[in-house]
Amino acid sequence: MMVITGKGRKVKAEHGQPHFTVAMSFTPINMGGGRKTQTFTQSESFPSPWMAPNVPWARNLKKNQLGGVVFGCTNSTFKECLSKQLFGLPAQHFSYVQNIEPGLPLFLFNYSERKLHGIYEAASSGKMNFDSYAWTGGGLDRTKYPAQVQIHVRLKCQALTEHQFKPVIIDNYYSQTHFWFELDHAQANKLMSKLSSLAVSSGSSMPQITQKWTPVVPKFTSQNKGGESGASELPSLSDDFANSFDSIGTSTTSDDPLCLDGNNQLRESSLCNQMVQPDEKDLIYMKLKELALGYEFPDTNMNNRGRMVESAFTDDVDFLRETHDNVMETLGKRNDEGSFDSLDYPAIIAQLCGEVEELKAFKQAQTQKMETLERKLAEAEQEIYHLENRCMMLESISNPSMTLVGDESLIESGDESHLNLDDSILIVGGYDGVTWLSALHSFSPSHDVLRSLEPMSCARSYTSVARLGGELYVFGGGQNSTWYDTVESYNALNNQWTMWPSLNEKKGSLAVAALDGKFFTVGGGNGVECFSSVEMFDPNVGRWISGRSMLQKRFALAAVELNGALYAVGGYDGKEYLKSAERFDPREHSWNKIGSMDTKRGCHSLVKMNEKLYALGGYDGITMVPSVEIYDPRLGKWMSGEPMNQGRGFFAAAVLNNSVYVMGGVKSDEDSLDIIERYKDGEGWEATKLRAVGQRCFASAIVLGGD
């Protein structure tokens, strides 16, 4: 039995007004100027919990392009954010929250007042669930905002109203009131400049750090006997560290032109005012820490790399603070003595630069240690996988109720014996609420048992699956900001995966069906456009060939083979959700329209049972629907079926033993589902008590056994 699951995407503005946008950002290259962004948008409000790569809620900036991040709050959560020094977003935003490193500028947007607060900075790397119960009012429910980062205040400023900050990040607005939270370096710098002009502090105003000044370099009498008595200037300090002081001094104004006395010496009172004000000490420390953070680690494949070096970074910052305090103590002593030699500047700077070099060497050593840890982690994950399979086998042997399946064949690990394919649904990839999965699981509904099999080569969601020759084939899909063109197959007899020639294009949210010993992939998208294209693959030939395109572009569609013909149903064409359907007959080499459904739907599933097609659930442009429509090819029209108990989309569905199983997915109130429903002719839909699968979104399902 072959089942294809369509996929899609959505977004929500966090800690405040919800919004739903399905489709993809369309960013063609504008040869004449800047970047032009066109977003395919269904603008109905909708609270969306999970998202995938290249959707309008995320710019998908690379780590080196990320200049800052905006987090959300309301009046009811604002104080908790600051008291806990913790910001958070829903889990889908972890795709870029994980790129946050200590020191990255952060901002807090209050949806209730539509004001932007700052300037904050990350005190940790972004990770999941620093506090699993934050923003729950002390309740027992887990937080809805697990993508979190610890913060501290970099500079306390008055909040910006939306009309003040909107022009700075206007390119991030994808609707009148909703904007992307990822900021590039230019946007972050402009926001910090704007906020810094409104800096405040307890007791007195903070120094304005946005106005550039040049350090006062006094002239001194030359001691060179061969030269004329006169004035010569200190050498220009071109070192990056020296130049950094330009942004933390006091602005020179007409009220304090040069602060020099008659002997070209810095006035003591002026020096005191410029160098040892408590607020400015904090600013100097901030700049020293920013310099240390400037020496970043090279990127690795570990998303949580920042967590592994957090303790080392803390030690480095403590060292910088100690160095800063020593420098300020020296400056204070100089001031107490009533004089200050400008030649101390190069010595202090040279000392600090030397310490920064030591820091770089230390971080390089830490990088090497982490590479070793990463290798050990990979080995440990493989060992855990084998132990998990072994444990499952031992449990099945020790528990008689778990050892018999229908024909009394033994359930064992995939490494020990063959799977009972006639009683199993294979579930491929997806998202479990914490992790994007490469896992392949075998689920037995008759015993509510979920068994781990050999995982895929990489994590995949928004993929499509098909069966041919008793093997499972997986096509395309994506993870975070990456789309795949890869194809791999799973052989249940030896529990092994095999790689096949790649698709002609990288794509996800596509559909696929096996027809006459060949695979046909249809539709999908790549983050730039929706496709109507068709690719055909014959395993005996070993290459992909472009086929006749569908009549419409279809992203997040569903497709299935029935009686030697391919049916493509619903989806999203870049402008709206579709209720239309079309049919391809290889004997005619053409696509033809068939009757349309009553309901628009994308992110739905399509299965075949008893010579009919069942279109299940999905998103209609407004909400997740529970409706079911049934197509009978002999009548050539769709009929309404009994609806599911729960509206859902982004779920997996399969037909096993003349019953339809729908597993996981997302419902309209932004929560993921762990409820499995079962449908059987004459009995209708039943919400089962099966719990082995748990939460699972954006996955695909298929049955390899049966006819």
490 contacts 497 by C-beta, under 8 angstroms:
yes
The confidence score (pLDDT) of residue 268 equals 36
In whole angstroms, how far apart are CA 19 and each of 261, 425, 478? 63, 34, 23
Q: Residue 314: pLDDT above 80?
A: no
Q: How far apart are CA 236 and CA 247, in angstroms?
A: 16
Q: What are the structure tokens assigned to 130, written together?
A: 């620093």
Ordered DSSP codes for 657-697: TTEEEEE--B-TTS-B---EEEEETTTEEEE----SS-S-B
Better-predicted residue by pLDDT, 520 or 139: 520
Q: How far apart are CA 398 and CA 392, in angstroms?
A: 10
pTM summary value: 0.49
Q: How far apart are CA 626 and CA 436, in angstroms?
A: 26
The confidence score (pLDDT) of residue 494 equals 93
User: Which residues sit opposite 53 in a β-bridge?
Assistant: none
- The predicted-structure confidence for 362-376, as pLDDT tens digits, reads as follows 888 888 888 888 878
Phi/psi class of residue 478: alpha, beta or left (left: φ > 0; alpha: ψ in -120 to 50)? beta
Q: How many Cβ atoms are within 10 Å of 203's Cβ, its own excluded?
A: 7
Compute the average pLDDT of residues 28-36.
Answer: 34
Q: Where are the domains of the chain?
A: 54-154+158-196, 235-252+275-398, 418-652+694-702
Q: Is the peptide bond before 119 cis (omega within 30 degrees of 0)?
A: yes
Q: Residue 324: pLDDT above 70?
A: no
- The predicted-structure confidence for 90-144, as pLDDT tens digits, reads as follows 988 998 999 999 999 999 999 999 999 999 999 999 999 999 889 988 777 889 9
3-class state of residue 316 by DSSP: helix
Q: Residue 308: pLDDT above 80?
A: no
Burial annotation 117-131 (CB, 10 A radius, 16+ → b, else e): bbbbbbbbbbbbbbb
| Range from 371-380, 421-430, 484-493 carrying the lowest mean pLDDT | 371-380
Average pLDDT over the chain, rounded to whole?
Answer: 75
The confidence score (pLDDT) of residue 199 equals 84
User: Which residues sit opposite 147 in a β-bridge?
Assistant: 89, 128
3-class state of residue 86 by DSSP: strand
Q: What are the structure tokens assigned to 598, written together?
A: 């009553």
Which one, of 184, 191, 183, 177, lies nearest residue 12 by Cα?
177
| Range from 281-285, 436-440, 481-485, 488-492 carrying the lowest mean pLDDT | 281-285
630 contacts 598 by C-beta, under 8 angstroms:
no
Q: How many Cβ atoms are within 10 Å of 470's Cβ, its own excluded?
A: 11
Q: What are the structure tokens assigned to 548, written together?
A: 């006749």
The confidence score (pLDDT) of residue 345 equals 67
The confidence score (pLDDT) of residue 501 equals 96
Q: Residue 24: pLDDT above 50?
A: no
Q: How many Cβ atoms are within 10 Å of 233's Cβ, its own excluded?
A: 9
- The predicted-structure confidence for 56-96, as pLDDT tens digits, reads as follows 557 889 899 999 999 999 999 999 999 999 999 998 899 89
Q: How many Cβ atoms are within 10 Å of 132's Cβ, its own excluded?
A: 12
The confidence score (pLDDT) of residue 543 equals 92
- The predicted-structure confidence for 359-418, as pLDDT tens digits, reads as follows 888 888 888 888 888 878 877 876 786 677 667 666 655 654 443 333 333 334 444 445
Which H, E and C letters describe 167-196, residue by residue?
CCCHHHECCCCCECCEEEHHHHHHHHHHHH
Q: How far apart are CA 123 and CA 310, in angstroms?
A: 9
Q: Which CATH superfamily is domain 418-652+694-702 in?
A: Kelch-type beta propeller (2.120.10.80)
Compute the average pLDDT of residues 608-629.
Answer: 96
Which one, of 348, 237, 235, 207, lies nearest residue 288 by Cα?
348
Q: Which CATH superfamily is domain 54-154+158-196 in?
A: ph1033 like domains (3.10.590.10)
3-class state of residue 246 by DSSP: helix
| Range from 209-223, 541-555, 638-652 carrying the lowest mean pLDDT | 209-223
- The predicted-structure confidence for 283-307, as pLDDT tens digits, reads as follows 555 555 555 555 444 444 444 444 4
The confidence score (pLDDT) of residue 518 equals 94
Q: Residue 326: pLDDT above 90?
A: no
